[in-house]
Amino acid sequence: MASTFKGIIMAIKECKDKMKKAGIRIYVRRGGPNYQAGLKMMRDLGQETGISIEAYGPETHMTKIVPIAMEYVKKGG
């Protein structure tokens, strides 16, 4: 789990300025062994980079994430 997020984190850090300029928001939904540590890593990355990262665990069904993102867009995000 952590190794998967480490690669993603590295890529986001590399592109953070372009991502912030483009107003990119990231939505993560993860379950499985040690998912809490991975979600914490992603939340911490959001704080560190200033990129909006919302992280959800297995309590949130994957099909709920898209409506969450769309609600942000409807509000003018």
CATH value at residue 29:
3.40.50.261
Per-residue pLDDT reduced to its tens digit, 42-72 = 999 999 999 999 999 999 998 999 898 888 8
Find the domain containing 67 and state its range: 2-74
Per-residue pLDDT reduced to its tens digit, 17-35 = 999 999 999 999 998 888 9
Instruction: Indicate the number of domains in the chain.
Output: 1
Cβ partners under 8 Å of residue 67, min gap 6: none
Q: How many angstroms separate the first and last alpha carbons of the chain? A: 30
Dist CA 72 CA 77 (whole Å): 5
**Token couple for 21:** 């300029």
Q: What is the DSSP letter of 1?
A: -
Q: Has residue 1 got a pLDDT over 70?
A: no
Statement: the pTM of the whole predicted model exceeds 0.85: no
